Amino acid sequence: MTDLNKNQSNHRDIELSKQIEDLLVARNPRGMKDVQTALQPGYYLRAAQRLQGLTGTILIGTGFPVTDTFETDGPVGAIALYNALEELGAYPILVGGESFLSLTEDEYRVHKLLEGDFTHAKEEAIATLAKLKPQAIISIERPGLAEHGGYFNMRGEDISAYCACFDHYLNEATCSTIAIGDGGNEIGMGNITQAISGLDITPSVTTCDELLIADVSNWGAYGILALLGMWSNIDLLGKVDPTAVLKYISARGSVDGVTRENNLTEDSFPPSYGDEIILNLRKLTKFI
Residue-level pLDDT at 8: 67
pTM more than 0.75? yes
Amino acid identity of residue 179, one-letter, is A
279: three-class secondary structure by DSSP: helix
pLDDT at 103: 85
Q: Which residue from 159, 170, 201, 180 is spatially nearest to 69, judged by alpha carbons? A: 159
The string of pLDDT tens digits covering residues 260-288 is: 999 999 999 999 999 999 999 999 999 99
Question: What integer pLDDT is reported at residue 3 of this predicted model?
Answer: 63
Query: 129 to each of 5, 86, 133, how far by Cα in Å?
Result: 39, 20, 5
Coil, helix or strand at residue 161: helix
In order of start, what are the domains of the chain with their CATH numbers? Answer: 3-284 (3.90.1640.20)
pLDDT at 58: 99
Query: Which residue stretches of the chain have pLDDT < 50?
Result: none
User: Is the alpha carbon torsion for 256, 260, 264, 270 positive or negative?
Assistant: negative
Sheet holding 136-140, edge to edge: 110-112, 91-96, 57-61, 136-140, 176-181, 210-213
